[in-house]
A and B are shown apart, each in its own frame.
Chain A
Amino acid sequence: MNRAVQGVILLLLGGAVLRISLTDMYLRYVRDGLRPFLIASGLVLLAVSAATLWPELVHRKAGQPTHRDPEQSRGQDMERSGHRNPEQGQVDPGTGYDRPAQHNHHSHREPVVSWLLLLPVLALLLVAPPALGSDAASRTGSALSTRAASDFPPLPAGDPVVLSVLDYATRAVFGGDRSLGNRRVQLSGFIMRGGDGQIYLARMIMTCCAADARPIKVALMGNLPDRLAMDSWVEVIGRYSPDITEDEINGEAIPFLEVEQIRTIPAPRNQYE
Chain B
Amino acid sequence: MTHHRPDPEVRQSRSTTGQRDPRRGPHGQRDGSEREANTAPWRVGATEVLAGGLVLVVLFRDRLEALLATPGLQTWTTVFVSIVVQALPFLVFGVVLSAVIAVFVPASFFAQVLPSRPALAVPVASGAGVVLPGCECGSVPIAGALVRRGVPPAAAFAFLLAAPAINPIVLVATAVAFPAEPGMVVGRFVTSLVVAMIMGWLWLRWGRADWIKPLQRLNLDGLSRWQAFWASCRHDLTHAGGFLVVGGLAAATINVMVPAEWLQALAGQPVLSVLALAGLAVLLSICSEADAFVAASLSEFSLTARLTFLVVGPMVDLKLVAMQAGVFGRGFAARFAPATCAVAVLVSVLVGVVVL
Residues of A at under 8 Å CB distance from B? 1-10, 13, 17, 20, 26, 28-30, 34, 37-38, 40-41, 44-45, 47-48, 51-52, 56-57, 60, 68, 70-77, 79-80, 83, 90, 92-94, 97-100, 102-108, 110-120, 122-124, 126-127, 129-136, 139-141, 143, 145-148, 207-212, 214, 249-251
Cβ–Cβ < 8 Å partners of A123 in chain B? 77, 80-81
Contact of B294 with A by CB under 8 A: yes
Assembly CA distance A210 to B23 (angstroms): 44
Tell me how far the C-beta of A169 lies from the nearest C-beta in chain B, rounded to whole angstroms: 13
Q: Is A6's CB under 8 angstroms from B238's CB?
A: yes
Which of B47, B221, B242, B251 has the most CB atoms of chain A within a 10 A radius of its CB?
A: B242
What would be 5 A-B contacts, judged by CB atoms less than 8 Å apart? A5-B47, A13-B241, A113-B245, A127-B65, A208-B289
Q: Is A40's CB under 8 angstroms from B89's CB?
A: yes
Q: Which 5 A-B pairs have the closest CB atoms?
A: A208-B290, A113-B242, A209-B86, A29-B82, A210-B82
Q: Is B296's CB under 8 angstroms from A113's CB?
A: no
**CB closest chain-B residue, reference A107:** B216
Beyond A41-B89, A134-B71, 11 extra complex contacts between A and B, CB < 8 Å: A5-B1, A9-B50, A13-B88, A44-B92, A47-B230, A79-B220, A83-B221, A94-B23, A104-B24, A113-B326, A140-B260
A70-B10 CB under 8 A given contacts A97-B20, A135-B71:
yes
**Set B13, B77, B264, B287: member contacting A129, Cβ < 8 A:** B77
**CB closest chain-A residue, reference B179:** A147
Cβ–Cβ < 8 Å partners of B91 in chain A? 41
User: Which of B26-34, B110-118, B151-159, B337-345 is found at the contact surface with chain A?
Assistant: B26-34
Contact of B269 with A by CB under 8 A: no
Assembly CA distance A212 to B222 (angstroms): 46
Cβ–Cβ < 8 Å partners of A210 in chain B? 78-79, 81-83
Cβ–Cβ < 8 Å partners of B30 in chain A? 71, 90, 92-93
Cβ–Cβ < 8 Å partners of A139 in chain B? 75, 256, 259-260
Q: Is B3's CB under 8 angstroms from A110's CB?
A: no
Contact of B335 with A by CB under 8 A: no
Q: Is A211's CB under 8 angstroms from B83's CB?
A: yes
Tell me how far the C-beta of A174 lies from the nearest C-beta in chain B, rounded to whole angstroms: 12
Q: Is A124's CB under 8 angstroms from B17's CB?
A: no
Cβ–Cβ < 8 Å partners of A34 in chain B? 86, 89
Assembly CA distance A187 to B222 (angstroms): 64
Assembly CA distance A74 to B74 (angstroms): 39
Count contacts on B: residues with CB < 8 A to the other chain: 104
**Set A8, A119, A145: member contacting B245, Cβ < 8 A:** A119
**CB closest chain-B residue, reference A122:** B57
A-contacting residues, B39-92, CB 8 Å: 45-47, 50, 53, 57-58, 61, 64-65, 68, 71-72, 74-75, 77-86, 88-89, 91-92
Contact of B299 with A by CB under 8 A: yes
Q: Is A127's CB under 8 angstroms from B238's CB?
A: no
Q: Is A79's CB under 8 angstroms from B227's CB?
A: yes
Q: Is A117's CB under 8 angstroms from B217's CB?
A: no
Scoring B residues 90 to 106 as 1 if CB is less than 8 Å from chain A, else 0, what string do you get? 01110010000000000
Tell me how far the C-beta of A234 lies from the nearest C-beta in chain B, rounded to whole angstroms: 19
Assembly CA distance A136 to B82 (angstroms): 14
Scoring B residues 205 to 249 as 1 if CB is less than 8 Å from chain A, else 0, what string do you get? 000000001101111111100010011011101110111011011
**CB closest chain-A residue, reference B288:** A208
Assembly CA distance A48 to B35 (angstroms): 32
Which of A52, A74, A111 has the most CB atoms of chain B within a 10 A radius of its CB?
A: A74
Tell me how far the C-beta of A123 lies from the nearest C-beta in chain B, rounded to whole angstroms: 5
Tell me how far the C-beta of A125 lies from the nearest C-beta in chain B, rounded to whole angstroms: 9
Q: Is A148's CB under 8 angstroms from B180's CB?
A: yes
**CB closest chain-B residue, reference A35:** B89
Which of B58, B75, B252, B260 has the most CB atoms of chain A within a 10 A radius of its CB?
A: B75
Cβ–Cβ < 8 Å partners of B58 in chain A? 126
Q: Is A209's CB under 8 angstroms from B83's CB?
A: yes
**Set B35, B238, B294: member contacting A9, Cβ < 8 A:** B238
Which of A5, A44, A52, A146 has the most CB atoms of chain B within a 10 A radius of its CB?
A: A5
Tell me how far the C-beta of B129 lies from the nearest C-beta in chain A, rounded to whole angstroms: 19
Q: Is B64's CB under 8 angstroms from A127's CB?
A: yes
Assembly CA distance A123 to B71 (angstroms): 15
Q: Is B264's CB under 8 angstroms from A249's CB?
A: yes
Tell me how far the C-beta of A250 lies from the nearest C-beta in chain B, rounded to whole angstroms: 5
Contact of B285 with A by CB under 8 A: yes
Assembly CA distance A108 to B75 (angstroms): 34
Contact of B293 with A by CB under 8 A: yes
**CB closest chain-B residue, reference A99:** B219
Assembly CA distance A44 to B283 (angstroms): 30
Cβ–Cβ < 8 Å partners of A92 in chain B? 27-30
Cβ–Cβ < 8 Å partners of A9 in chain B? 50, 238
Q: Is A6's CB under 8 angstroms from B13's CB?
A: no
